[in-house]
Copies of this chain bind each other. A is one copy, B any other.
């Protein structure tokens, strides 16, 4: 049975994993006959009120506990997962990918990536296993691979500022419409813009479904 790791970063677009992107990923994997291995870092996160869009001052939640909501409790601390446990790795988006898995949302190109997330990405790439990143998640992949001076290409859609940032961090950025994906066959790296560009859930779903299919075809 093919096992595909899915790295979550909380539960909710403004401070965690983008929920639609994550569920669409889980459904596409299951329909492709793969078992999703959900994981998240065991760390505190800040919280955004998703009704108002405002930061909830002084409130924190645990990323692993909140991510467990999307995974229906079936989730593991990413620190316990090695590349040898999985056949591929997918990182959905949401601000959690840019605030919890790394601090790109605050520090931009000078960001640091959570050490366990960076470790697993390096292990997966070194093992020549497929790696997919959705929405803003390619930014943290860019930081990790860029720091290693590994030439690679990916997309964050068409946003000029973010495209410039991933170029600065070491990626070759490829513009990509929302219903498509970009594949770097040499590094087995797939990326799709999803809600970086999507105006509705169907647009995000089409790009993600194609991304999952591309991952499965590389196995």
Residue A78 CB within 8 A of the other chain: no
Rounded to whole Å, the gap between the CB of A182 and the closest CB of chain B is 23
Any B CB within 8 A of the CB of A144: no
Any chain B CB within 8 A of the CB of A80?
no
Scoring A residues 64 to 75 as 1 if CB is less than 8 Å from chain B, else 0, what string do you get? 111011111101
Q: In the complex, which residue of chain B has the Cβ closest to the Cβ of A42?
A: B51
B13 x A72 contact (CB < 8 A): yes
Closest to A72 in B: B13
Sample 29 A-B pairs with CB under 8 A, ordered by A number: A11-B12, A13-B69, A13-B72, A13-B73, A19-B19, A19-B23, A19-B70, A19-B72, A20-B26, A20-B27, A23-B24, A23-B201, A24-B27, A26-B201, A27-B201, A27-B202, A30-B200, A30-B201, A30-B202, A31-B202, A49-B65, A50-B65, A50-B71, A50-B72, A50-B73, A51-B64, A51-B65, A51-B75, A53-B73
